């Protein structure tokens, strides 16, 4: 009877795990943008977080190693750029060409070696704070790193490409704050 009861219970849905998931997607905001990505980069860092109360001993300490991987896009927000055309001289003047900026960051965290103590445990707020600090750390690395320099080099290439396009139609390109005049 025990074996028969086991097989009956095993085949029935009584002892199975039931899972339910629901999701509701709502579009909150739509905005028109005029941005151009000049450089994409991937960043990988190990972020070490440690917190303790009173003394740094294992009973009072919580600690975690977090691997942060991020894909960043650096480029130009062209919403405030002015293109001024002069038909009589066949000249196009670009004003307010922006400096490169961080357009997007897509980061992922992997938690390693998470150690909690009896008196000091990780809360949801702690993990959210670690996530935010890790993202800020990546942003700081990107803003000081070589990606911004590469994006600045791309700026010159973008302007040269525009100048070549305009010159093929007989127009001249002028760029504000640049001594170079691109003639067609």
Q: Which pLDDT value is given to residue 72?
A: 92
H-helix or E-strand spanning residue 149: helix 146-167
With CA atoms as reference, report the closest residue to 115 among 131, 126, 107: 126
Q: Which residues have a Cβ under 8 Å from the Cβ of 123 and sit 6 or more positions away?
A: none
pLDDT digits (tens, 9 = 90+) for 86-142: 889 888 888 888 888 999 999 888 888 777 766 677 788 888 888 888 888 888 888
Q: Which pLDDT value is given to residue 181?
A: 53
Q: Which pLDDT value is given to residue 73?
A: 92
Largest CA distance in the chain: 100
The answer to whether residues 74 and 147 touch, using CB atoms and an 8 Å cutoff, is yes
The answer to whether residues 122 and 111 touch, using CB atoms and an 8 Å cutoff, is no
Residue 12's pLDDT band (cuts 50, 70, 90)? low
How far is residue 87's CA from residue 173's CA, in Å, rounded to a whole number? 12
Asked if pLDDT for residue 182 goes beyond 60, the answer is no
Asked if pLDDT for residue 15 goes beyond 70, the answer is no
Gap between the terminal Cα atoms of the chain: 95
Kindly report the length of the chain.
184
Instruction: Decide which of 100 and 12 is more confident.
Output: 100
Domain boundaries, the chain: 34-182
pLDDT digits (tens, 9 = 90+) for 42-83: 888 888 877 777 776 766 778 888 888 999 999 999 888 888
DSSP per-residue letters across 32-72: ---EEEEEEEEEEEEEEEEEESSS-STTTEEEEEEEEEEEE
């Amino acid at each position: 009877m025990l074996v028969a009861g086991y097989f009956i219970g095993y085949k029935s849905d009584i002892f199975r795990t039931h899972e339910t998931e629901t999701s509701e997607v709502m579009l909150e905001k739509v905005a028109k943008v005029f941005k151009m990505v000049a450089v994409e980069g991937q960043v990988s860092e190990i972020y070490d977080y440690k917190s303790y109360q009173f003394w740094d001993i294992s009973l009072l300490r919580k600690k975690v190693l977090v691997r942060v991987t991020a894909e960043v896009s650096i480029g130009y927000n062209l919403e405030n750029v002015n293109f001024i055309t002069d038909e009589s001289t066949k000249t196009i003047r670009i004003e307010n060409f922006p400096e490169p900026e961080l357009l997007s960051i897509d980061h992922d965290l992997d938690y390693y070696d998470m150690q909690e103590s009896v008196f000091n445990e990780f809360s949801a707020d702690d993990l959210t704070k670690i996530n935010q600090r890790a993202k800020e750390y990546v942003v700081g690395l990107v803003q000081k790193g070589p990606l911004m320099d590469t994006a600045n080099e791309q700026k010159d290439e973008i302007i040269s490409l525009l100048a070549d396009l305009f010159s093929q139609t007989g127009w001249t390109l002028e760029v504000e704050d640049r001594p170079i005049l691109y003639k067609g």
